[in-house]
Amino acid sequence: MPAPETSIARSVRAALAEVADPARAPGMQTYMKSAMPYLGVSAVPLRQVCKALFKDTCWPDGDAWQHDVLAIWRDAAFREERYAAIELAGVKSAGSFQTLAALPMYEEMIVTGAWWDSVDVIAGQRLWVILVNEGPAMKRAMLSWSTDADMWKRRSAILCQLKAKSDTDLDFLYACIEPSLDSKEFFLRKAIGWALRQYAWTDPVEVRRYVAANADRLSGLSKREALKNVGAAA
């Protein structure tokens, strides 16, 4: 359902329209295979707009924060507006709101966004913060997502530890991967490879071991991605 318009949503739409280059918009939409049109705002000016608009933003509670994020997200007419909603969701002043109470909002954004450009930022950055803040409960939630019928929720569960490095919980990572090991979905296969490749920067020997142990189930794409930076042998 649409969220009531807010002043910050109006400001975002006006500011993005101001820096847009309409000539770039069709190419951006084609590249992203997006049904939603683009304004023609590339990444750098978009981040600059968001930084300027959001620098002094704060909220009395998490409900108010979610209201502002969803007001931008739900009524977005252009894809860059959704990018701005994701940026607003991650501002420093919202840090204390990154709890399980925010998970339904992110779930909505993942399911309705349903494409890698928005899903991967939410999964790799926003869900990661909740995982840090609420480890055991968030792991249970992600394990549930890992078997969900929605492919993007499954991908998000696989990718939520991308920033963990040496703090990666391998049992949890492998448990999130397991339900999708036999999937033929490109985006799940790619996510498995990406998550493994990311951990390979920390422990390449373990990633090679895991790939070898699951060679009969991992897709060629997942194997190539997992071993891209480390090779098949020491």
Q: Which pLDDT score, from 0 to 100, does residue 103 have?
A: 98
For residues 85 and 3, membership in a common domain is answered with yes
d(CA 105, CA 219): 32
Phi, psi of 47 (to 5 degrees): -65, -35
CA distance 34 to 18: 22
Residue 46: pLDDT band (50, 70, 90) is very high
Owning domain of residue 46: 1-94
In this structure, the answer to whether residues 85 and 123 fall within a common structural domain is no
| Claim to verify: residue 121 and residue 41 sit in the same structural domain | no
Q: What is the pLDDT of residue 234?
A: 41
108 and 5, same structural domain? no
pLDDT digits (tens, 9 = 90+) for 180-195: 999 999 999 999 999 9
pLDDT given at position 5? 58
pLDDT at residue number 74? 96
The reply to whether 145 and 182 lie within a common domain is: yes
48: CATH: 1.25.10.90
This prediction's pTM: 0.93
How many angstroms separate the CA atoms of 205 and 230, rounded? 9
Of 52, 78, 94, which one is at a domain's C-terminal end? 94
DSSP secondary structure string, the chain? -PPPP-HHHHHHHHHHHHH--GGGHHHHHHHHT-SS------HHHHHHHHHHHHTT---SSHHHHHHHHHHHHHT-SSHHHHHHHHHHHT-GGGGGG-SGGGHHHHHHHHHHH-SHHHHHHIIIIIHHHHHHHTHHHHHHHHHHHTT-S-HHHHHHHHHTTTT-GGG--HHHHHHHHGGGTT---HHHHHHHHHHHHHHHTT-HHHHHHHHHHTTTTS-HHHHHHHTTTT-S--
Number of domains in the chain: 2
Residue pLDDT, tens place only, 95-152: 999 999 999 999 999 999 999 999 999 999 999 999 999 999 999 999 999 999 999 9
Structure tokens at 12: 């975002």
* Listed residues 64, 94, 124: the one ending a domain: 94
Q: Give mean pLDDT, residues 172-176.
A: 98
Q: Does the pLDDT at position 233 exceed 60?
A: no
Please tell me the predicted confidence (pLDDT) of residue 105: 98
pLDDT tens track for 48-86: 999 999 999 999 999 999 999 999 999 999 999 999 999
